[in-house]
Amino acid sequence: MTFSEKFHLRIPGPTPIPSRVQQAMNQPIFGHRSQEATQLIQECSQKLKPIFGTGQDPLILTSSGTSALEAAVINTLSPGDEALVIVTGSFGDRFAKIVERYEFTLHRLDIEWGKSCSPEQLRIALQQHPKTKAVFVTYCETSTGVLNPIEELSKVVHTHSEALFVVDGVSCIGAVPCQMDDWGLDVVVTGSQKALMLPPGLSFIAVSRRAWRQIEQNQMPSFYLNLLQYRNSLSQSTTPYTPAISLLLGLKEALCMLEEEGLEQVFQRHELLMSMCRTGVQSMGLTLMASKQDASPTVTSIYGGGAEAWSSEDVRKHLKQLRVLVAGGQQHLKGQIFRIGHMGYCDSLDILTALSALEIALTQAGVPISLGSGVKAAQEVYLHHV
Ligand SMILES: Cc1ncc(COP(=O)(O)O)c(C=O)c1O
């Protein structure tokens, strides 16, 4: 079909790939122990530092984001250790499941889905579990579109405990500020297929000095996910196992693009995309899941199909016919919400396109909206911004 290649990927990852990155990945392959490879690894690790806001060398794993979550758990906790997991949605729940699977003692701090964890809620939980060795949190909870207040939560962890603070930043690092060293974050992980504008397949882990001390004492057996091995190899600008060289070539290009735009500018762009998306959707009469204060600049969750007379799954089907792909809800939110991703290689016109398609899809699904209302409101946000 003529247009089969032309679609709008507006799910919260994987995200669209810029052609510069695509072309970089098409270069001929070379040996993973060659000088080209060591130079590439070194450059990528250096260029990742400002994205994490750290002076430490971020580690590069050839595996998806979940492997980095697992590595963070099994390298920081030893048998018998207690972990506090802040669960604000399905990815916090994943952290909890990993902790449980390895039979560490799990304390869950369950927060209502759609809300962020407050510093006070964390303070109380830490008071209840004073032996906590590490606190795990999701920076952007992709399942609800909520951004947790990481800097404030980190202060609470370090004021009220000796625990490490471990952050899953898979769906926002590279799109929102992260000052790992200044904020006292101990481990921050992310993946390639979200704000970093790459295909899936790489994950990244940055580790604080304090966390390295705990990792050096770690008693858990691990092999592929042993972070000390990655640190040793990175000190010689290599990786313990064959890295995904093509993805690394793409990574270098993507990091150059972020550098060229300027990180501050990148963060502001994501703020604008969030604001256009939220204002547009609200102006159509739809209800947002996250409050303005809790909302993530990378993904927006919208109610549809619960209390509403219409089905978000039906709307998603109509959107798909227009070749606009958005995500549904996860776990108990299946059929209750839909989610629009706006991270990475995404600009204002992409949001206007998605909103315009959404108005058509809602109308086709029988939702009484005024065509153009959302697009107009989002255009006004844009005009006000520039
Ligand atoms: C916040 C968050 N954590 C972890 C993951 C898991 O990453 P992966 O699917 O690459 O294993 C995702 C993926 O969507 C995510 O959004």
Chain segment 260-286, per-residue pLDDT in tens = 999 999 999 999 999 999 999 999 999
Token duo for residue 66: 């979940």
| pLDDT band (50, 70, 90) for residue 307 | confident
Task: Give pLDDT, residue 305.
Answer: 76
Token duo for residue 127: 């008071």
Asked, colleague to colleague, whether 8-15+262-385 and 19-259 share their fold, the answer is no
Q: Long-range contacts for 221-226 (Cβ within 8 Å, ≥24 apart)?
A: 222/71, 222/74, 222/75, 224/63, 224/67, 225/61, 225/67, 225/70, 225/71, 225/74, 225/75, 226/75
- Say if strands 132-138 and 164-168 run parallel, antiparallel, or are unpaired: parallel
Handedness of CA 209, 215, 216, 217 (dihedral sign): positive
Inter-residue contact 264 to 270 (CB < 8 Å): no
Q: Ligand 1: does its nearest atom lie under 6 Å from the Cβ of 70?
A: no
For range 290-311, the mean pLDDT? 91
Over the stretch 17-43, which tens digit does the pLDDT of each residue have? 999 999 999 999 999 999 999 999 999
CA distance 195 to 48: 13
Which residue do the tokens 């940055």 mark? 206
Cα(94) to ligand 1 centroid in Å equals 9
Which residue do the tokens 């209302």 mark? 373
Atom of ligand 1 nearest to the CA of 172: 1
Task: Give pLDDT, residue 172.
Answer: 98
For range 342-358, the mean pLDDT? 98
Average pLDDT, the chain: 97
Task: Give pLDDT, residue 386.
Answer: 87
Q: Which residues touch 61 (CB under 8 Å, ≥6 apart)?
A: 67, 68, 71, 202, 203, 204, 205, 225, 230
Cα(193) to ligand 1 centroid in Å equals 9
Atom of ligand 1 nearest to the CA of 191: 10
Ligand 1 probe mutation, 85, 97, 142, 298, most atoms within 8 A of CB: 142
Q: Ligand 1: does its nearest atom lie under 6 Å from the Cβ of 138?
A: yes
Q: What does the DSSP assignment read for 22-43?
A: HHHHTSPP--TTSHHHHHHHHH
Ligand 1 probe mutation, 85, 113, 170, most atoms within 8 A of CB: 170
Task: Give pLDDT, residue 70.
Answer: 98
Architecture of domain 19-259: 3-Layer(aba) Sandwich (3.40)
Dmax (CA) for the chain in angstroms is 62
106 pLDDT above the threshold of 90? yes
CA distance 77 to 164: 10
For range 217-242, the mean pLDDT? 98
Correct CATH for 8-15+262-385 of 3.90.1150.10, 3.40.50.720, 3.40.309.10, 3.40.1390.10 = 3.90.1150.10
Cα(138) to ligand 1 centroid in Å equals 10
Cα(2) to ligand 1 centroid in Å equals 33
Q: Ligand 1: does its nearest atom lie under 6 Å from the Cβ of 233?
A: no
For range 235-260, the mean pLDDT? 98
The answer to whether the predicted template modeling score (pTM) of the entire model surpasses 0.75 is yes
Q: Ligand 1: does its nearest atom lie under 6 Å from the Cβ of 11?
A: no
The residue extents of the domains of the chain are 8-15+262-385, 19-259
List residues bridging with 108 in a β-sheet: 85
Angle, nearest 10°, between helix axes 263-283 and 245-261? 80
